Amino acid sequence: MGMVLGTFSMHTKQVTYRTDKVDDELEMTMVSHRPEGLEQLEAQTNFTKQELQVLYRGFKNECPSGVVNEETFKHIYAQFFPHGDASTYAHYLFNAFDTRNNGSIKFEDFVMGLSTLLRGTVRDKLEWTFHLYDINRDGFINREEMTEIVRAIYDMMGKYTYPALKGDVPKQHVDTFFEKMDKNKDGVVTLEEFVIACQEDENMMRSMQLFENVM
C-alpha cells in the first residue's frame, strides 16, 4: 500500500512545463523583409511590372517571410530533381544569387539574378555563369572548382542512369571542359578565356538562347 502511494507521488514530480523554450524560438523566426517599391525594381531590372508581380507572388508564396535561406532554397530546388541529390548544386546556385554574401536571398537579389539570366546580354550571362563556377571568387576557375561543380551536376542525376555512372565520368567531363576553355594551358580559366571560348561554340550559344522565353 505504501508502495502504491509512493509511486503516485513520484509520478507528479515528473511533469514539467517547457513553454519558455518555445517562446524563444518563436521570436527568432519573425524576421521578415519587404522589398523596395515596384517602380524601383522595374528600373533596376529588365522585367516589366506584370512579370515582377508574377515573380513576387511565387516568391512570397514559398517564403512568406520575404527571405530565402539556404535550407529553403535547397528544398525548393530539390523538388525539381526528384531522382538525385540536388543539394550540392543548389548550394553553389545559392551562393551565386547571394551577391551580398549574407546567407539569405531577398527578393531583390532573386530578381536581379533572374534579370541577368533571362534578359541580360550574352556577355552578362557568361559572366554570371563564370561567377557560378568560380567558387572562391578569386577570378579563376581551377580544376578542383570545376570538378566540384561537375560532380554536383552529376549528383542530380541520381543513381539510376543509363549508362551507369562510374567514378571517373565527372573527371572526363572536366578534362573536356578544360581542353576547350583553357587556351593558354595554364591550368586555370580566366573570365576572358571563358567568354571567348563560349562565344566560339555555336551549340552553346544556341542552347543559351533557348531559355529566353522562360518567363
Partner 1 sequence: MAAGVAAWLPFARAAAIGWMPVANLPMPVAPTNKNKRQDELIILNVSGRRFQTWRNTLDRYPDTLLGSSEKEFFFNEETREYFFDRDPDSFRSILNFYRTGKLHYPRYECISAYDEELAFFGIIPEIISDCCYEEYKDRKRENTERLMDDLEDNKDNKPPNMTFRETMWRAFENPHTSTMALVFYYVTGFFIAISVITNVVETVPCGTTPNQRDIPCGERYTEAFFCMDTACVMIFTVEYLMRLFAAPSRYRFMRSVMSIIDVVAILPYYIGLVMTNNEDVSGAFVTLRVFRVFRIFKFSRHSQGLRILGYTLKSCASELGFLLFSLTMAIIIFATVMFYAEKGSSSSKFTSIPASFWYTIVTMTTLGYGDMVPKTIAGKIFGSICSLSGVLVIALPVPVIVSNFSRIYHQNQRADKRRAQKVQKARLARMRISKAGSSTAFLHSKRNGLNQSLELTQLPYYKMKLSPQGSLEEDQQLKKTTSLLESQHHHLLHCLEKTTNHEFVDERLYEQGYLQTALQNFPSQSPSLSSEEGVTGTCCSRRTKKNIQALNATHTHSHTHNLQELSALHIHCGEQQPLNTSRSSLNLMSDESGSLNCKSSGLVTTAIISIPTPPSNNSRANPDAPPPPNPDAPPRPNPGSDVVKISAL
Contacting residues toward partner 1, per CB under 8 A: 1, 4, 50, 54-55, 57-59, 61-62, 76-77, 79-83, 93, 96, 110, 114, 117-118, 125, 128-129, 132-133, 149-150, 153-154, 156-165, 169, 173, 176-177, 181, 194, 198, 203-204, 206-208, 210-211, 213-215
- In whole angstroms, give the CA distance from residue 91 to residue 105: 12
Q: Alpha-carbon distance 90 to 69, whole Å?
A: 12
Q: What is the CA radius of gyration of the chain?
A: 24
Q: How far is the CB of 189 from partner 1 (least distance, A)?
A: 10
Which DSSP symbol is given to 214?
G
Reading phi first (left if > 0) and then psi (alpha if -120 to 50, else beta), residue 190 is in beta
Of 37 and 64, nearer to partner 1 (C-beta) is 64
Angle, CA 202 vertex, CA 158 and CA 173 arms, to 5°: 35
Least CB distance to partner 1 at residue 16 (A): 26
Nearer to partner 1, 24 or 205 (CB): 205
Using the minimum distance from each CB to partner 1, give the nearer residue, 185 or 206.
Answer: 206
